[in-house]
Amino acid sequence: MLSGRIAVVTGSSRGIGREIAVTLAAKGATVIVNYNGSAEKAGEVVDVIREAGGEAEAVQCNVSDFNQSAELIKYVIKTYGRIDILVNNAGITRDNLLMKMSEEEFDAVLNTNLKGAFNCIRHASRQMLKQRSGRIINISSISGIMGNAGQANYSASKAGIIGLTKSVARELASRGITVNAIAPGFIDTEMTAVLTDNVRKAAEENIPMKHFGSTKDVANTAAFLASEEAGYITGQVICVDGGMAM
């Protein structure tokens, strides 16, 4: 399905990013597992992929840094000759009520989540334009659609990703490059594992399907958008949220 494709998945040492990396590799793509903090966790993802017969390597890069992002993409192109799939998944949270939120908390989230996506698209799109093909998949959130108390920074960054997705989709569509966003709802990850039973139960009550999604639900959507089958889909935001944002 994705045989011969070269994929970069940012922030893929854990959670949704990890599952996307493993899923793309299982479908034949060579995956660059990007991480910023934990080389050990990124190495584990590479090991999982290789043990299943896939191809992957881990590459460190802080995507919020414009120049580091340029070096990441430059390395991929130099090593593999092309880049076919870019998944902008790297993201952080610094939750706080607006009146208590520091400038650092706001800036850190915007720099990683939104500017990081811009940086990687900015550098990868040049190669995709040369190829006249490419798939860019940005991981947003239902928080970027609905808003969420205590997450003004995170919601703003994820709403920004939606605007970025639509603008870039318009710019690149004529050259065979699709740009789409996925907006996950409540997904079982390390991030949601810390929720108390009461908070989790209240969240499930707000989900029409009454349960959290899995990282596989998001990864399968990403794999579809990366495939030839999704060749006529661009500028879209697909909510993987059990119906929460409808």
**Predicted local confidence at residue 149, as pLDDT:** 93
**Predicted local confidence at residue 110, as pLDDT:** 98
Has residue 192 got a pLDDT over 90? Answer: no
Given 35, 75, 80, 154, the catalytic residue = 154
pLDDT band at 68 (very low <50, low <70, confident <90, very high): very high
**Predicted local confidence at residue 195, as pLDDT:** 84
Question: If you average pLDDT over residues 1-26, what whole number do you get?
Answer: 97
Question: If you average pLDDT over residues 156-165, what whole number do you get?
Answer: 98
Q: Is the pTM of this model over 0.85?
A: yes
> Does an H or E element contain 111, and which?
none
Distance (Å, rounded) from C-alpha 183 to C-alpha 5?
Answer: 24
Has residue 190 got a pLDDT over 90? Answer: no
Strands (E), the chain: 6-9, 30-35, 55-60, 85-88, 134-139, 177-184, 237-240
In sign, the C-alpha dihedral spanning 195, 105, 158, 10 is negative
Has residue 156 got a pLDDT over 90? Answer: yes
Tens digit of pLDDT for each residue in 115-148? 999 999 999 999 999 999 999 999 999 999 999 9
Q: Report how far Cα 204 is from the mean position of its chain's Cα atoms.
A: 24
Distance (Å, rounded) from C-alpha 34 to C-alpha 88?
Answer: 10
Has residue 193 got a pLDDT over 90? Answer: no
Does 154 participate in catalysis according to the annotation? yes
